[in-house]
Structure 1
Amino acid sequence: MANAIELIVDGYVSLNDRRALDDLRMQRRKLVVDLKARTGFDCRTTIQQIEEDIIVIEAGLAQLDGTATT
């Protein structure tokens, strides 16, 4: 079963909405930076999940790049 971020990315890809994917990726990247700056909390699991989300988002962007060139 697909997780939520995969469904969201698939939706944006089907709509050819690169801006939404870029915004989603930027939001995730900022969140990782903020979590890494935190002290006193173990955020490693959360950071790992967000980084996995970024990989899925970048795969969606790559799909859009592939469809734009064909």
Structure 2
Amino acid sequence: MPSAIELIVDGYVSLNDRRALDDLRMQRRKLAVDLKARTGFDYRTTLQQIEEDIIVIEAGLAQMDGPEKT
């Protein structure tokens, strides 16, 4: 079963909405930076999930850059 982020990315790819994917990636990157700056709690699991989300988003962007679908 696909994860929520995979479904979201697939939706944006099918709509050819590069801006939404770029915004989603930037939001995840900002969240990661904010969490890395915090102290007093172990955010490793959350950061790992965010990094996995970014990988899925970048795969969607790469799919949009790929050869034309026929």
- Common topology (TM > 0.5): yes
TM-score, with length taken from structure 2:
0.95
- Stretches (4+) displaced over 2 A: none
- Matched residue pairs, number? 69
Question: Do structure 1's residue 47 and structure 2's residue 26 form an aligned pair?
Answer: no
What is the Cα-based RMSD across aligned positions, in Å? Answer: 1.3
% identity of equivalent residues:
88
Query: Which ranges of structure 2 fall in alignment gaps of 5 or more residues?
Result: none
Give 1:67 deviation, angstroms.
4.1
Q: Is the helix fraction higher in 1 or 2?
A: 1
User: Does the C-alpha gap of structure 1 residues 14 and 64 become closer, same or farther in structure 2, counting only changes over 3 Å?
Assistant: same
Which residue number in structure 2 is paired with residue 26 of structure 1?
A: 26
Q: What secondary structure does 1:40 align onto? A: coil
Q: For residues 17 and 46 of structure 1, what CA distance do their matches in structure 2 show?
A: 26
Unaligned runs of 5+ in 1: none
